[in-house]
Amino acid sequence: MSYEPPRPIRGLLLTPEDREAPARARRLCSLGLGERAEPALDAFADHLARLTGAPYAMVNFVGEERQFFAGLRVPAEGPPARADGTRRTELGRTLPREHGFCPHVVVRHKALVLEDVCDYPRFAGNPVVDEHGIRSYLGAPLIDSTGMALGTVCVADVAPRPWGRAGLETIKSTAAELAARLERRTDDGLPL
């Protein structure tokens, strides 16, 4: 019996090509975003977690090579253990661009609802599933007045979760609210 390696699945891009990435990186730099944690964005993420009942909430700015969580709320008890009892990696402020689901939201300029990531082969193999135990995701793009998606507002859970229409409307409205606040902040020179 011989072993034949699996053939690659044609057309299945795990991380979408992002032609806006260089322009987005310049725009984020001009807005002073995506390089440091911001207490106001941490508070926004905490509010979003309470609003949705999700253990994880993020304000994520997507650059050319990485994602940066300028706003982050993680559960105090840390990520769940793996089936073999070993601990998973704690979610930090940065992720490679090919990890997670936010790059898909940014490229598509549309909200993404994944009630159980394992139901979608395209997303089930994403490193955040194994490394951090993420099983469900809800995210919407932060679209500025130029029409550019700067990043996302998102929540995630370690269990499958029916986000429903209410969850979708909540994430979309909070993303629009935050995008407007970010631009007002830079226009007026005020903090969030």
On the 0-12 / 13-18 / 19+ scale of CB atoms within 10 A, 85 is exposed
pLDDT of residue 128: 84
The structure's pTM equals 0.85
Average pLDDT per 10 consecutive residues for the chain, totaling 192 residues: 38 70 92 90 96 95 92 84 74 86 95 93 82 91 94 95 95 96 71 56
- pLDDT reported for residue 144: 93
List helix spans (H) across the chain. Answer: 21-31, 39-52, 102-108, 121-124, 127-132, 164-188
The pLDDT of residue 2? 38
Question: Would you state the pLDDT for residue 78?
Answer: 73
Angle, CA 157 vertex, CA 151 and CA 161 arms, to 5° = 110
Cα maximum dimension of the chain: 70
pLDDT of residue 116: 95
Instruction: Tell whether domain 21-77+90-188 is in CATH 3.30.450.40.
Output: yes
Domain spans of the chain? 21-77+90-188
For residues 71 and 59, the answer to whether their CB atoms sit within 8 Å is yes
Residue 189's pLDDT is: 54
Amino acid letter, 115: E
- Quick one: the chain helix, strand, coil %, rounded to 5? 35, 20, 45
Report how far apart, in Å, the C-alpha atoms of 8 and of each of 11, 122, 124, 128 are: 9, 13, 16, 21
